[in-house]
Structure formats: structure tokens, C-alpha cells
Structure 1
Amino acid sequence: MRQSVKVVAGFILALSCAAAQSDAVFSNTGYAADAYGAADHYPLPVPGQTRTQKQFVGYYTHFDEVRPSDPIARAGVTSPLKTSEHELVLNYPYGGQYRSVDDYLDRNPVTGLLIARGDTILYEHYRYARKDTDRFMSQSMAKTIVGMLIGIALSEGAIHSIDDLADVYVPQLADTAYGQTSIRDLLHMSSGVHFFEDSNAGDDRDKLGRDLFSPNGKGAIEAVKRFNQRDRAPGTHFSYASIETEVLGLVLSHATHQTVAQYASERIWKKMGMEADASWGRDATGDDITYCCVNATLRDWARLGLMLAYDGKWNGQQIVPRDWVLQATSVASPDSFLAPGKATPLFGYGYQVWILPGDHRMFALQGMDGQRIIVDPRSKLVLVQTAVWTSDHDPGMREVYALWNALVAQFG
């Protein structure tokens, strides 16, 4: 999902400690709760009918009850997350005044917000009657998981080089534009293949989705073959295209001889000591839909972000190779077409991850309708937000980054 977030700079921070114990806080309401179906207890979508705003909350927290999904199994002892003695109270500047984190929740359709530093939760709130056992759907945050799994497969030798073309691993794509694109250029979304995505009905992502989500859909390989026109030389221009993650998912499953969900379970979920099983949506042919659709608890999303903050290490193990995480979340040169301000007016782009502007390395997993994990490795600070944005609500997502800047100013 293309983003155009303007990070608010130049502010005065006010931070204090509250007296209350910082356990998770639950609320039955939220921003515009009636519009989101509160009176009907946040219903699930009706199969075969267009999803309405009143069904957003249910859809985003029960996706794997609505759509076919594969399990991402956990195993063993859960890795601990501590809870701070006092809940974080933060004031951040936005819209000409200072606002609190509670104000942020009252002003925005957030289903869950968790802020952690190191191994300690500073703030954990759930809205719209959501629970800490609910699994929250990722949208495009799943792309970063795919990028990290590619790095693991490379370290294990299942993938020999990211300069290999995709059809080395997926021969069904031989003689197609995407088959003739390197894994590196797919990771950077710089294939040069024509694919128009603006998150509106009728765009190419919408066409891709119909091929993948329809019960009679063609599946990923046939969907990818439909897009076969290269407009630019690969490796020269960033153009956000969800289909490129679909190709990476095909490379990953063919190279490892496992579904992407199985590989994620064995290489990430079990090793990290996640507290709950997750799931990954799949298409009609049995392939996992890798441009989106991972479902996990808020605290497990936080664990994922913290693992990346520790450069791939968590629960006493190196989950993702450190060098890969550093490469994935950095830009080689400020003059690169992938640099912040060049890839997009604000963000840069790494290996399936957004890179923030600033004087030190920060990055974000970003998904449609407000899904965010924002990471500062220097301070080991992570913000996780799950949400049910509509297109007319702060489309640039400016306010969450105003809040993030205040956090980084305090902890960084």
C-alpha cells in the first residue's frame, strides 16, 4: 500500500508516569463505534456479499473464520514480555495542540495499540470489544515476513542467490516478465513490470485479489502470468506492487518445498516462542496469499517487531540472519532510487519493508486500513497498531507518526 505520511518534526515532549498498573486495558467502544457495528456486536461479513464498514472490526479480527487459512503453529514455552510498573503517559503535538495517547485512541479507529521497549510493554489497549486472544489481520505487514523468510531460506541454501531469476525456482513462470526478474528486484519492488496499484476498486491489485480470493480463482501462478509487460529496466525504479510479493511467495514455497505458512511456523513462530498460533490466508489452489493476510495476536506482532529491533535475535536465538535484517532495513546510498524521499515523497524501501527518514535507522511494516509496526532499533522501541481505517480517515496516517516521533524523542 503506497503511503504518503508527513512526519511531524520540531516538538516539545511531555512524559510522565501514571499511578495505574500497566496491564492490558479493554474497552467495548472506540472511535465512531456505532458506524463500526457496536449495536450489532461488531458482526462478521456475510459470505458472498460486499463487506460493509459495520463488518470491518469483525473481519479484521476473525479473518481466518471468514476466509480459508493455513495455521502458523507455535510450540514450546512462550517467550516472556514484561509489563512496566506504570503505564506510559505521552503527550504529542498534532493539529495545533498537545494530545495524549488516550486522545489518539478516541480520535482514530484503532482496534489495538501496544507500545514496547526491549522486552517490556509500556502501553497495551484494546478497543471495540477486542480481546488479547484475538488474531489481528496484517494486510501488507505480511510482506515484511515474506522478506525475512527469503533471508532465512538464503542462509539455509534453499535459495542460492537473490540475484537468481524467479523462474530458477518457479519454472512455471519461465518466459514471463516476472519469471525473468531477480529476487533482489522483487524484494525492492523494482521489477519494472507494469502493475498499477492505488488501493482503489478496479486497480491491478483488485484484479489480482479476485484471482486469489475467489473460490474459483486461478491461483497465484496464473494470476502472475496475466501481468507480462515490462515498462522499465529492472532495478532502476521503485513502484509498489503487491504482486511482487506473490512472486516471492512462490519462490519461497518452491525453494523450501513447504507452504509459506509452514516455513513461517518452523523458522519464526516456534523459534520465537510466540504465545499463540497464527494463520495465513490461502487461495483456491492451496498457495498462501503472501501479499497480505497473516493473523496474529497483538503481543505476537510486538514480539515480531522486537525481534527486528534486535536485528533478528529473540528468545536466545538468531531468528533471521543479522546481516540480512541490516540489509533489508537500510538503503545503500541517499542517492538511491530506494532512499527516503526518492522511493516515495517520504519513505524509502528495503526488502519488503518501509524505511523512515531521519538521522538513524528506523523502519515500518505497513498495511492497508491502518496496520502498523514501527521499529527503532537504536532504542529498541516498537509501536504496534491494528486498525479499521476507512479511506476518508487521515489517509496519510500523519497522526500515528506524530505520536511515534514523540516516543522516539523520549527514548531515543
Structure 2
Amino acid sequence: MPDSQKLRDPRQPGAPIIPRASWDLGPYNRWTFQNVRDLTPTTRVWRGIGQPSNLGEAPDDIENIRFNHDGKEWTVGEVLAETYTDGFLVMHRGRVVLEIYMNGMRRHTTHLSQSVAKSVTAAASAGLIERGILDPQAPVTEYLPELEKTAYAGAKLQHVLDMTSGVLFDETYTAEDSHMAKVDVACGWKEPKDPSWPLTMWEFIQTLTEKECEHGESFRYRSIETDVLAFAMQRATGKALADIVSENLWIPLGAEEDAYFTVDRGGYALADGGFNATLRDYGRFAQMITNNGSFNGRQIVPASFIERTRKGGNNAIFGPDYRVALPKGAYHNQFWIDDVDRPALMARGVFGQLLYMDQESQFAAVKLSSWPDFLNIARTRLTFAAVRAIRTAIA
């Protein structure tokens, strides 16, 4: 079973050394996703000094829920074992109905969530938008004039939020010379394969000078868009991203533990995929989004931002590659939309990270994983089916 493929702790005498070039890949990620601070520089997202917010509990027999998927009957428990699960949390009407830790993970353990960081960053930007510090309709170059010489010239901040800029960006995770390979170096995760590659994210963004389509024409998943958003947030506020997330999300949520971002060689927090937090704190974030931005007795993210996000998806520009897993899906404000006719929101990351947030059913789920591969459509579809089956059974 996948859960038996735990790595020996490399800090122990005689344990195998994790290769620097592949620390974030399987099978090493079975250990590294829960121990990122031991592998690369990070910056703290402070939780504040208050008591953690309360998560009510109403345990339910979720693991034994049965459902059919692609002609086979599954239980939720079987899916969790099959899909390299590290932590799984289900909330209904604000109460925890299931909380499971696997692969050595514990309640206090922080876990890398990859591109879930994008949704966290966007949620932290929402208050800045409401207060007029950021304007989604303003050109990106109003905040970052240095990008006038790049393909971001003419793009609006909303294009970046929706990943609909026309900037050419190769997201191929396994190609050795793709833009993503260069991001791995620029963000500080890997050593450069070519001495000419940029060594910080800001330097890398300024190399993106080609367009592949007109701004606003189509959705094409570009991780770098989140970093452009984050640099605009930092320029507009004069604060670091980790502090923005702390002040706008982590402290008001009443988080149980500090979170953290990985940082590049210049100290920039990786907005597109470097966020780490505990399972229960991801649950607090997911419940807040499910509650239309309200949690812990306060409005944390403006309800108008959540409503625009839920209702603003456009399936028409959602290409065929994305419809394999989400036939009626969309993307808006750095969140995935499960179905434009019933707009549950999702935050997703490679290697099996998922936050699922359905306001209509007052249902939220968090799955932290360490798949051996970046993407796996079979596991993705199976996970979606399991989460929807839970929602149907308890809502």
C-alpha cells in the first residue's frame, strides 16, 4: 500500500540522503512535504498571540461511505489509502466530522500545499482590493512599471488573478528547460542547471517577453501569474507577502500554528506554491471561504470577493485539457470552480493537494497528499468523486 512507502528520516544516522535536485519529488516527498523547513529557507506567517479559534466536532462514519466510480465500488477509506494521503479533514456546518492523519503526519505537522498557495494569496489580496489599495482593473504596470518591457504590458491585474494574460509560460513540470524548471531555480528550490538562469523570482518574471495570445482571450494555467499578483501586493502595501497573509488571514482566522512560505535567494515568499500549514488550519481557511469569508466571529475576506469568485467563472474559455477533470469547470480569482452551475470552489496543488469548499451544502474538505507524480488524472477524478460522495451523504 502507498502508506507503507514512508521514507526513513534522513536526519537519522545511516538514512539515505535526499538528493537536492529531487527533494520535492516522489518518493522523497512522502517525508519532505511535512519537513520543508529542513530543506530550504522559509519565512514565518505569524498566527498572533491569541487563543486558537474553536473547531467544533461531530464525528461521523465517513470512511465507510460507499460510492461507485468508473464502474467500481469504493469506500472513502479505500480512496484515502490508494491516493497517498497524509491528512484528510471534512467539515460540515462548521464542525469537524472527520480528521485523519496518515504517513506519520500529526496535528501539529505543517504540510506543503503547492498551488493551494495561489488561493491563499488571492484571499489575502481581497481586503486590499476592498480598501482600494489594489484595483483589479488597473494595469499590472501601474504597480510594477518595470514589467512594461515584458509581455505583461497591457495586462490588467484581473487578467493575472484569472490566469488569462496572454503571456507565454511553459508550465510543463517534467521538462528540463521549461519555464517551470526555471521557476524551481528562481524560487530557491533547486540549483541552476544553466548559469544564465535567473536566481530570483523577480528577475525571472522580467524575462517573460513573449505573448502566446491576447490578454483575456483564454484561461491557460500559468503559475507565475500568482507571483506577479504577490509582487503587486507587496509594492502597493510596502509589506512582505508573509506579513500580508498573517495580518489578513492567519491572525483573524485564529490559526492554531504559524504557517510559512519558502523564500527565494532574495527573500521573496513563493506565492505560487510555497505555502505550508497544518491540516486544521487549512480547514479553518476552507471553512472561512465556505462561510462567504466569515469565520471566528468576524468577516475576514470580503463576501463580495467570494461571491464574485463563485459566480465569475467562464467555462467557455476553460480549455479541453482542464475539462477532462472538470467538464463544467472554470477558474476565477485564483480559485478553481467545480461546476459553473453549482459553483463550489477549490484550491488545488500538484501531488494531490485539495481544498473543496461548497457554500450551498456548508461542506468543506481538505486533502493533503504526497503522490509520486505531479499530475494523475485517474487519482484526481477518484478524489473528486470521493469528496462529492461525502458531500451527498452528509449534506
- Mind listing any 5+ residue stretches in structure 2 that lack a counterpart? 193-197
Unaligned segments of structure 1, at least 5 residues: 1-30
Query: Which residue is 2:195 aligned to?
Result: none
In structure 2, do the counterparts of structure 1 residues 394 and 292 end up closer, same or farther at CA, with 3 Å as the change threshold? closer
Partners of 1:383 and 1:113 lie apart in 2 by: 7
User: What residue number does 1:403 align with?
Assistant: 386
Aligned to 2:279: 298
Question: Does the CA contact (< 8 Å) of 1:189 and 1:244 recur in 2?
Answer: yes
SS of 1:279's partner is strand
What SS does the corresponding residue of 2:127 show, helix, strand or coil?
helix
1:101 corresponds to which of 67, 76, 98: 76
Is 1:350 aligned to residue 320 of structure 2? no
Per the alignment, do residues 176 and 372 of structure 1 end up closer, same or farther by CA in structure 2, a change over 3 Å counting? Answer: same
What letter matches 1:337 in structure 2? I
- Answer with 270-279 or 118-127: which moved more: 118-127
Cα deviations by residue, 1:212-236 (Å, 9 ceiling, x for unpaired): 2157853122101111111211011
Q: In structure 2, the residue corresponding to 1:53 is in which secondary structure?
A: coil
Give per-residue Cα distances to partners, 1:348-381, cap 9 Å, x unaligned.
1111111112642212100000000011111111
- The answer as to 2:264 corresponding to 1:270 is no
- 1:192-251 Cα deviation digits (max 9, x unpaired): 111121322322111122122157853122101111111211011111001111111110
Q: Distance in 1 between matches of 2:151 and 2:393?
A: 47
Q: Is 1:386 the equivalent of 2:368?
A: yes
Question: Contact conserved, 2:59 with 2:98, CA < 8 A, in 1?
Answer: no
Q: Which residue of 2 aligns with 1:165?
A: 139
Tell me how far apart the structure 2 counterparts of residues 190 and 48 of structure 1 sit (CA, whole Å): 33
1:127-148 alpha-carbon deviations (Å, 9 max, x no partner) = 1111111001110000011111
Taking the aligned partners of 2:253 and 2:155, their CA distance within structure 1 comes to 32
Change (3 A) 1:341 1:395: closer
Aligned to 2:237: 256
Residue 198 of structure 1 aligns with an amino acid whose one-letter code is T
- Match for residue 362 of structure 1? 344
Question: What SS does the aligned partner of 2:28 have?
Answer: helix
In structure 1, what is the Cα distance between the partners aligned to 2:60 and 2:20?
46
Q: In the superposition, relative to structure 1, how do residues 121 and 157 fare at CA in structure 2: closer, same or farther (>3 Å)?
A: same
Are the counterparts in 2 of residues 91 and 100 from structure 1 also a CA contact under 8 Å? yes
1:67 and 1:170, CA in 2 relative to 1: closer, same or farther beyond 3 A?
same
Say if 2:100 is the partner of 1:130.
no
Q: Does structure 2 retain, via aligned residues, the 8 Å contact 1:164–1:183? A: yes
| Contact 1:79/1:275, CA 8 A, preserved across alignment | yes
Aligned runs of 1:23-34 on 2, under 5 Å?
Answer: 31-34=1-4
**Residue 241 of structure 1 is aligned with which of 222, 240, 250?**
222
SS in structure 2 of the partner of residue 103 of structure 1: helix
**1:208 counterpart SS class:** helix
**Aligned partners of 1:73, 1:228: CA distance in 2, in Å?**
36
TM-score (norm 1): 0.85
CA displacement at 1:32 relative to structure 2: 2.5
Q: Deviations along 1:27-85, whole A, 9 cap, x unmatched?
A: xxxx3244442597997963634336342122101112211111011121211111214
CA root-mean-square deviation: 2.4
1:190 paired residue among 164, 170, 179:
164
In structure 2, the partner of 1:328 is: 309
1:104, distance to aligned residue in structure 2 (A): 1.5
TM-score of the superposition, structure 2-length normalised?
A: 0.89
- Distance in 2 (CA, whole Å) between partners of 1:227 and 1:374 is 32
Give yes or no for contact 1:57–1:388 (8 Å, CA) kept in 2.
yes
Q: 1:223 aligns with which of 204, 227, 230?
A: 204
Query: Deviation at 1:156?
Result: 2.1
Q: Deviations over 1:364-405 (max 9, x none)?
A: 100000000011111111110000112298434111111122
Aligned residues: 379
Letter in 1 for 2:352: G
**Following TM superposition, by how much is the alpha carbon of 1:96 offset from its aligned partner in structure 2, in angstroms?**
2.7
Q: Distance in 2 between matches of 1:194 and 1:344?
A: 21
2:51 match = 77
How far has the Cα of 1:304 moved from its partner?
Answer: 0.5
Question: 2:185: which partner in 1?
Answer: 210
Secondary structure in 1 aligned to 2:86? strand
Corresponding residue for residue 5 of structure 1: none
Aligned identity (percent) is 23
